[in-house]
Structure 1
Amino acid sequence: MRTLPRSRPSHYHPTRLLAWGAAAAVLLLAGCTVTRLHTAVELARESEPLQHHVDAAPVRLLIVGDSTAVGTGASSPDKSLAGLLAQAYPGLHIENRGRDGATLAEVPHQLEASDARFDIVLMLAGGNDVIRLRNLDNTPSHLDRIVQLAKARADTVVLMPAGNVGNAPFFFPPLSWWMASRSRELHALVRDAAQRQGVGYVRLFKERADDPFAQHKALNAKDGLHPSDGGYQVWFQELLAQSTLAQRLAPARSTPGS
């Protein structure tokens, strides 16, 4: 059994730079601080998606999505959501294809990377569609395509978009109000898609008064945008509480042969 991040590429991929460049332009125009924006880009640059390789694993998990799938904001890969799953379920094989900056339209490319079979597909994406002002009218078709591909690779599919982006310390009013409105709309679309397709959905969206990320700044990474170690712990707890994964992952609580 080996737990390790994906090997760092020899250079930062041009498409990722373009993605963050587009986000930077929108956020700077909206008045966000250069310092916070620089910190967010640096965290993305330094992040690595955790992989957990287990021979003859009783459960195989594929993670796809954006920077939250990668674990950007965590102090190390093992503190990311994937890392927390690997620690709690040492017999769980994890392949993580998450990419910083990925939108819902780009997630199908991650799913199409191979035809390997898994037991579970977990998608963490949608936040970039909110922040980068993507047309949310296209979200249902993107989600249907994602679920179609995920179902072809696993019997269990869970959709877990980021929470209320408007509550992130990164944003200030009135931009934060707009981001909250877009996050609310995104979650409604993901919920509808999950019901339509018969797959799992984890609702991380909360209004400001009920959102632990708004009440406890320590749950946010230093860029004020991504979850911190504690933030990913909250997501981990919500994932197990709101889905069937706790039961589904039970056989992986120990390593094969132990």
Structure 2
Amino acid sequence: MPLAADQLLRVPLLPVLAAQGLSVRRNARFLPEPSGPREGREGRGPRLRLLIAGDSSAAGVGAGTQSQALSGCLVRELSRHYAVEWRLEATTGHTTLDTIERLQALNGQFDMAVTALGVNDVTRAVSQRVFMERQSRLLALLTGKLGARRVVVTAVPHMNRFPALPQPLAWVLGQQAARLDLGLRDVVESCAQARHLTLDLPDDPALAAPDGYHPSPKAYAVWAAEAARLLRQA
């Protein structure tokens, strides 16, 4: 398959991209993962065992507490209809491979799961082919050993829209993110229990955390509402 424009230009742009990457890291506001429980029970109704897994966004970076993060917002949405038993397995910096290795150690069973991965696969230059293979392995693990009958797979974010990233770094990472997400859609389509969740959020400063890299509590609430809608369809 011929290389895309961003892949062709990556070599001549390398000095600029490297300098911008160092500048972003130097000026980054490293936000901590929010405080609060990472498992619990909430609500009344039919039992729903929920797993949330992934990277820093799944862990809720950008929110002050887990109640303002994806886990808290999602549990609140679902607990209106179910007795939710939930667990969060997410860590800043984790790739798809890291998440597979983490979840392989779990012994519990879950009815539904939500995943959020891809940004760290992009920044570590994971190819589309390898990303697809690892996402397929992750879905097989979730729907096999861990028992999930519905998995909401969050799209790889539009990294070109991250306020913290300057051009042309934002463009290069955005192109790779779009490429990985295209592969992710194919992986999800091949799994009957999975659904791809695209978050088409407006360019609203209130939706970004102060670091310009992670979601804000407002964005987490929108994300959770959409994820809950897909889960309830099951």
TM-score, with length taken from structure 2: 0.81
Letter in 2 for 1:67: S
Letter in 2 for 1:228: S
Give structure 1 regions of 4+ aligned residues with deviation exceeding 6 angstroms. Answer: none
User: Contact (CA 8 Å) 1:187, 1:203: kept in 2 or not?
Assistant: no
How many residues of Structure 1 are paired with residues of Structure 2 in the alignment?
210
Moved more, 149-158 or 186-195: 149-158
Distance 1:186 1:221 in 2: 24
Task: Mark the runs of 5 or more structure 2 residues left unpaired by the alignment.
Answer: 1-16
Q: CA deviation at 1:216?
A: 0.8
Distance 1:148 1:49 in 2: 30
Q: Does 1:117 align with 2:76?
A: no
Q: What is the 5 A alignment of 1:207-218?
A: 211-212=201-202, 215-218=203-206
Q: Does 1:69 align with 2:55?
A: no
Bigger share in helix? 1
User: Contact (CA 8 Å) 1:68, 1:162: kept in 2 or not?
Assistant: no
Moved more, 227-236 or 49-58: 49-58
Distance 1:136 1:105 in 2: 14
Q: Which one of the candidate residues 117, 135, 138 is aligned to 1:146?
A: 138
Q: CA deviation at 1:247?
A: 3.8
Q: Which one of the candidate residues 28, 41, 45 is aligned to 1:54?
A: 41
Q: CA deviation at 1:186?
A: 1.3
Q: What is the 5 A alignment of 1:90-169?
A: 90=79, 91-152=83-144, 153=146, 154-169=148-163
Distance 1:104 1:218 in 2: 28
Q: What root-mean-square deviation, in Å, do the aligned CA atoms of Structure 1 and Structure 2 show?
A: 2.3
User: Contact (CA 8 Å) 2:74, 2:228: kept in 1 or not?
Assistant: no
CA offsets, 1:85-134, max 9 Å, x none?
A: 12223321111111111001111122212221110121111111112323
TM-score, with length taken from structure 1: 0.74
Distance 2:36 2:187 in 1: 26
Are residues 197 and 246 of structure 1, via their aligned partners in 2, closer, same or farther at CA, if it must alter by over 3 Å? closer
Are residues 30 and 53 of structure 1, via their aligned partners in 2, closer, same or farther at CA, if it must alter by over 3 Å? closer
Q: CA deviation at 1:66?
A: 0.5
Are residues 47 and 162 of structure 1, via their aligned partners in 2, closer, same or farther at CA, if it must alter by over 3 Å? farther
Q: CA deviation at 1:27?
A: 6.9
Q: CA deviation at 1:53?
A: 1.6
Task: Mark the runs of 5 or more structure 1 residues left unpaired by the alignment.
Answer: 1-25, 249-258
Letter in 1 for 2:207: L
Q: Does 1:203 align with 2:198?
A: yes
